[in-house]
Amino acid sequence: MSNSARKVQRIEIMDTTFRDGQQSPLWYDTQTNVPSLEEKLNLLEGILKLGVKHLEFFSPIVGTKEAEEFVEVKKYIQAQAPNVILHAHCRCNEKDIQLALDAGFTALNLYFGTSKESIKGNHNKSIADIKTISLKIITDLRKTYPSMWLRFSGEDAFRTDIETLCAVYSPLENLVDAFGTPDTVGVATPALVGERILMLRKAYPKVELECHFHNDRGFSTINALTAVQAGAKYIDCSVWGIAERSGITSTTALLLNLYEEDPAYVQGYDLSMSYPVNVILGSIFRMQIPTTEPVSLTNRTHIAGVHQNAVTKDAAVYEAHSLEKFGVGQRDLILNHLSGYNTIYYYLKEVENFQLSKEEAREISEEFKNRTREVTKTKDARELLLDIAASRNLRKTVLPQNMQKRRLENL
Ligand code: HCA
């Protein structure tokens, strides 16, 4: 089916914050951010409220901490959102799988390295071996668990030539629900993704496609969007895009982009939970949401005088996306040495309620710009500006309480 003929369907976020996300250097490496179970559950609450229906966790094979925590996590999810599907990330081997089944996972995300690099450095099995092993394991699984959700991925799929990948996938076509195509080392370009996903979509019309893009070249969002447009249904994402090395596709960056392309892609998600979820992770890491994350207050913060002046009149001049829908309910204008007199006038008059003329605002603004070196960690720009205003004995307008609350900007 051509892309244009395909009906736009809801895209499933395969949340891997607690699997690949925990492989991020932001968690564990410095030992400053070791997540407690309580913190994980807080974040999980946000992810569930966002409307994510597929969550990936480690197979218990990785260790007792994860195995024990999964018991609690599972209880929590089953109480909050019983229809959510719990996927175990498993190597395609019997031991990983058995432990996952014993732990009560309802879906298996199986993988087996298929690139030359993975074969040589990971498991040393030939493509013929990979085919035999995966077919045997998945056939047996299907017999015992006829309705279990099964996915098979050739790890490092984008460094695996397409003929090899198809040679491994074809025998599994009638056994799995989805094929994964992980870009394990972030080599895929949007052009290659479009070509491959279209090709796989055509070759395996009955099998859904799942994608996992690492961000080594900064392409994880555009690759995910391209994959969706070419026919992928599941995209592996995490909050902030945290994952091994420089990460994968950020959940909220993808939701925003899908929404911009066609709201039908994101039906059923509570988009207003996007920003809160990002904030929860920020509070766990005690860090600001990354500046590259589109669903952030940073993306509603204006610095340059020209921009500040324009957005106080009409925000659309420098804001094109509906971040309010994604839970970013505020806008920030940061007073700084680039702020123009318009912003300073606006701030002193509308926020601080000083009575001043434009001419006075110009003079204050000039003095402020000349003195911004005085701004330090202990004295912020607002204090400096108020000092300058105070030295001019400006009078204030007293506003009724209810009007103060309706102030437009929070500088
Ligand atoms: C890993 C590698 C992986 C797996 C992706 C997948 C990758 O950390 O195990 O299961 O689809 O990028 O290949 O994250």
Contact 230, 193 (CB under 8 A): yes
Which residue owns the Cα nearest ligand 1 atom 2?
184
Q: Which of 117, 212, 219 to mutate to test the pocket of ligand 1 (most atoms within 8 A of CB)?
A: 212
pLDDT tens digits, the chain, 411 residues: what are they?
A: 444 556 789 999 999 999 999 999 888 766 677 788 999 999 999 999 999 999 999 999 999 999 999 999 999 999 999 999 999 999 999 999 999 999 999 999 999 999 999 999 999 999 999 999 999 999 999 999 999 999 999 999 999 999 999 999 999 999 999 999 999 999 999 999 999 999 999 999 999 999 999 999 999 999 999 999 999 999 999 999 999 999 999 999 999 999 999 999 999 999 999 999 999 999 888 888 999 999 998 898 888 888 888 888 888 999 999 899 999 987 777 888 888 888 888 888 877 889 999 999 999 999 998 998 888 888 888 899 999 999 999 888 776 665 555 444 443
Contact 6, 234 (CB under 8 A): no
Predicted pLDDT at 399: 62
Helices marked H in 15-57 — which ranges?
37-50
Predicted pLDDT at 1: 45
Q: How far apart are CA 182 and CA 210, in angstroms?
A: 8
Helices marked H in 103-207 — which ranges?
116-118, 127-144, 162-169, 190-203
Residue 220, burial from CB neighbour count under 10 angstroms (0-12, 13-18, 19+)? buried
- SS3 category, 349: helix
**Taking CA 105 as the corner, what is the angle to CA 111 and CA 159, rounded to the nearest 5 degrees?**
15
Predicted pLDDT at 334: 81
Predicted pLDDT at 8: 87
Contact 308, 274 (CB under 8 A): no
Q: Which of 89, 211, 220, 245 to mutate to test the pocket of ligand 1 (most atoms within 8 A of CB)?
A: 89
Q: Tell me: the pLDDT tens digits for 4-21?
A: 556 789 999 999 999 999
Q: How far apart are CA 244 and CA 258, in angstroms?
A: 24
pTM (2 d.p.): 0.89
Predicted pLDDT at 353: 84
Q: From the CA of 182, how far away is ligand 1's center (Å)? A: 6
Q: How far apart are CA 178 and CA 181, in angstroms?
A: 10
DSSP secondary structure letters along 193-220: HHHHHHHHHHH-TTSEEEEEEB-TTS-H
Ligand 1 closest atom vs CA 185 = 12
List all residues whose CB is within 6 A of at least one atom of ligand 1. Answer: 20, 23, 89, 109, 111, 153, 155, 180, 182, 184, 212, 214, 244
Predicted pLDDT at 272: 96
Please, which residues have CB within 8 angstroms of residue 144's CB and are 6 or more apart in sequence?
none
Q: How far apart are CA 369 and CA 2, in angstroms?
A: 58
Predicted pLDDT at 406: 47
Contact 390, 400 (CB under 8 A): no
Q: How far apart are CA 387 and CA 384, in angstroms?
A: 5
Contacts 24+ apart (CB under 8 A), 63-71: 67/99, 67/103, 69/37, 69/40, 70/103, 71/103
Q: From the CA of 82, how far away is ligand 1's center (Å)? A: 26
What DSSP designation does 287 have? S
Which residue owns the Cα nearest ligand 1 atom 11?
182
Contact 289, 298 (CB under 8 A): yes
Q: Tell me: the pLDDT tens digits for 41-92?
A: 999 999 999 999 999 999 999 999 999 999 999 999 999 999 999 999 999 9
Contact 248, 210 (CB under 8 A): no
Sign of CA dihedral 230, 265, 253, 280: negative
Q: How far apart are CA 349 and CA 242, in angstroms?
A: 42
Q: How far apart are CA 382 and CA 375, in angstroms?
A: 9
Predicted pLDDT at 359: 92
